[in-house]
């Protein structure tokens, strides 16, 4: 194989192995958080109520109420949070945009000094800053990335965050409720299904992180199991107290 062909192969291999996943998207965090929260909170809610020795009908109503209330609360919270963050970023971008319009030379000098501080030769830094500052939108994007650490073209969507959170929470909260909807009268099928779901969610999350699948899955299983056990004990305690 010739040197040119070898370089071409290496270039292709580098390109294939050097792609990055989207870490700034607005759906992954609310979806993961929503699914985990739905599983843990509804499981804990239902085990707490079950500790009070209530009827099958009460368990179903409790699970449905927990699913609906939690899903809408998560969606509203995510929408408000992401929208507020986006509005703050847009306000800062407006400030930077005005500065570029009113004081273009000062902003260009600021950009050159930034490159100099990172080891670029002064003359080259000034020339790079001058060329990049010719396009106002490009200059805004560069200043936003360098000074604010954001990409103006990749801001998270409040709607995407809200929908992701709602759907994921509802799906997670459905797992401990599903056995009761299918006719189960005991709590253990709901607990087993929910714990399996927690382990599975943790294992899936590990595919987009650096953690091993078993560590992430086991961590979620233990946290969810602990929450369910504590609330079950509290439900028994309160049930006896109220009954007495």
C-alpha distance from residue 222 to each of 39, 40, 190, 210, 216 (Å): 13, 11, 16, 20, 10
pLDDT of residue 18: 47
pLDDT of residue 71 exceeding 70, the answer is yes
Q: Mind listing the pLDDT tens digit for each residue in 31-70? A: 777 888 999 999 999 999 988 878 999 999 999 999 999 9
For range 79-105, the mean pLDDT: 92
Residue 192: closest CA among 36, 54, 47: 47
pLDDT computed for residue 14 by the predictor: 47
């Amino acid at each position: 194989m010739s040197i040119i062909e070898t370089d071409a192969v290496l270039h292709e291999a580098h390109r294939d192995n050097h792609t990055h996943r989207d870490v700034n998207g607005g759906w992954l965090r609310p979806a993961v958080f929503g699914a985990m929260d739905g599983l843990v909170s509804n499981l804990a809610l239902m085990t707490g109520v079950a500790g009070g020795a209530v009827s099958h009908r009460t368990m179903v109503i409790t699970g449905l109420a927990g699913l609906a209330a939690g899903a809408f609360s998560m969606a509203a919270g995510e929408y408000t949070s992401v929208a507020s963050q986006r509005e703050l970023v847009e306000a800062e971008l407006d400030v930077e945009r005005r500065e570029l319009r009113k004081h273009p030379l000062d902003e260009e000098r600021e950009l050159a000094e930034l490159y100099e501080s990172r080891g670029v030769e002064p003359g080259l830094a000034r020339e790079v800053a001058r060329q990049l500052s010719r396009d106002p939108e490009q200059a805004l994007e560069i200043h936003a990335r360098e000074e604010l650490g954001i990409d103006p073209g990749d801001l998270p969507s409040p709607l995407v965050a809200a929908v992701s959170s709602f759907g994921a929470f509802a799906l997670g909260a459905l797992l401990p409720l599903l056995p009761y909807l299918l006719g189960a009268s005991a709590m253990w099928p709901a607990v087993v299904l929910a714990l399996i779901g927690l382990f599975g969610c943790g294992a899936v999350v590990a595919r987009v992180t650096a953690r091993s699948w078993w560590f992430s899955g086991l961590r979620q299983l233990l946290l969810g199991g602990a929450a369910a056990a504590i609330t079950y004990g509290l439900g028994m305690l309160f049930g006896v107290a109220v009954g007495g």
